[in-house]
Structure 1
């Protein structure tokens, strides 16, 4: 029976562990929309190794799998090592419609389902009977000021091309920030029954003024291969140079909406706030730092457009923000900007504290209305810091001896009197010897004080020299450790383990200089720390202690002639 119970618990534990170890597999597409006569790429990505190789056969119902490949990617972001696996499929739709890609099985692991919309073949500005087609298009005709519009250049060829070049965009009318969206993509399509190789290049444009944005016709240069590659001529010669112009493009840029009432105009497809904590929120202790990471993620805005995250002050909690980290992720659908802010929180008192909500109003360009990205308020409970006080030997009083004063030796009878006299005398001598030993040991215990004080003074001098050296060198990390050592030697009855305990015990002005030290330790904006004020505060505390000690000695002196 016991064996069965143990086996059941082990099985449940293993199942729970396997669920925790499941690989999360994401799925994405290289562009939207997808045309029925165009190939496209579908990506499956995971940061963990899946259970088995993927089974892509369910996709063959609605798509033709032209090719598949697997790649590994290793990156280091903010000192964190990340490894990912990526599977890339080149697919061709079989018909027009909306299709749900079912979850692909990687053994026991599985990806989520994914929706793909396939549209009919697009209308081209250049007739399909040519060998070269060059298109310029945009995903929107009307864009709010500072919003994103994705502009696409497509060069379609059914000839052997040895080299090509698409010239830069020339824009008139308004000031525009242009962000390239990655490398040139290649895929296949069919126009008029003929196969074409497509070279596609995308840009994200952010107009800074309202009005008309005019893109001039773009020039493309193509060098054709005059002779095909053969077994006897593996290096084909370069042929004629062809030039082709795309059509021009005019877009309308609208001003800020009258219904938007927030100070920062943020037109985007989506904006969200993400909060992460480093440390256990259920075990927050006074003086121990916890790191809060707040990320503002916007689809359709660059990181430079995102505002500073305003964090309100909290009484009883010191906050030290790092320098924000700005990142731009370039996708086929545009820019995803991220502003990441790390904040070190150090509670200075025990109790419950409310972290106020963080709200960022923004403008939804799809629904044309104002929305708010929000992190709700949160209550944190802070436990008091505990001092570890060493056990000290008490100054106990001597045994009360009342029998000595009342000791009476009686005369024994004639038969046994001499025996009892000697026994009583021996006991009396032993009692007096015990009192003498106690008195001597008491004197030794009392005289051991100066020796102990001398050892403590020696350690205190070493700690002061170390603290002085760290403050003189403006070494914040070394000063933190030296200050803890100095405080433990200065007050040996207390076991300081955190700077907040020192600040709480000694008060101002040392507490203020400890706040400056913490700000330098927990902030990435590495401004040189000046240790002069911290050292002067410690010197002042030492001097005050010496003055008090001198006064105490004077008050203990007894007059010579009472």
Structure 2
């Protein structure tokens, strides 16, 4: 009996230890909660922003950022700005809570009561076994509009609104199958682009409508902040048959916050005419061939294409006819260029530059061959060029030229001669050539007749 009592006491103690361990684990497991409230909490004016502040808290920490979903509210615009989350630390009932806070933006478009349905935010508390989903409470708010704006389809307040439209291509040049794009751009001063209502494009009988995604952007300046918002809506129409079509006028209503009155912008209607392409078969198909079910192909071509094809064929024939002549002209031109380059390479101008380069060196071994080459290429000397004819060029400087000729002869005969400045030889020769040409121009072409 004593042994049974001992085993019974041990069993009771183990049971109490398990219960205490579970209680301790439950008390020390991470706790999580979520809170949500509206700012302001009372009625608001349609078109103004309401903040939905959501706080996620835990008794430990978050290993990852909460998953903030984007929900919808009928008749209102909901957005989650790309702002940094606010860190929280609170003491509730003696327990430390840590978390983050984000603020949604809700803009009601009309008056009435609005309900924000509950939505789940997924968090990952530290030391937890897995992610935790927290549900927000159901929240409601009411929106009103100023007197005079009750009948507006969409209440859109702004300081100033400007709307323009474009139609591309020109409505006067449209054919069946072409795309016509109608674009409407709204420019609202002091308003975010996301708050500008979209433009409703109507269907047009005979035109297929293909809407495009709207584009928005805000104009922000460093000092002034938000200046304006711009929204662009576009739609593409395609005509499936010929005829006249009218894109209806577009009416945009908005509330002027400066005058507290409703204003309307009307973009005029656009009329366009779609024409079919003029096509003609190249040849007629016999009726009996069609009746017997023979295989056939119909080739059609437009007038403009026929004109371009004729011009291309004409140009090709002209090139074929003129090819031998163009080849001959090319050969003649090439020979002329080669001959001109040869004349230039063997002419007096190049020989004169060679003489000047040799004279700068001051070496008779280089100056004398360059001098003879220049005299052979120059038209001022007879062929063959001789040194004794240098003095005939310029009688005033005959002494300098004679000295130059004697120096050349003395160089070849190894006989001493008067010293000559070889570097100044080109200057004396150029002066002599100029005077010879001037004297030749002054002489008459025919000698004077003898007078008796």
Higher strand residue share:
1
Higher helix residue share:
2
User: Larger C-alpha radius of gyration, 1 or 2?
Assistant: 2
TM-score of the pair, normalised by structure 1: 0.27
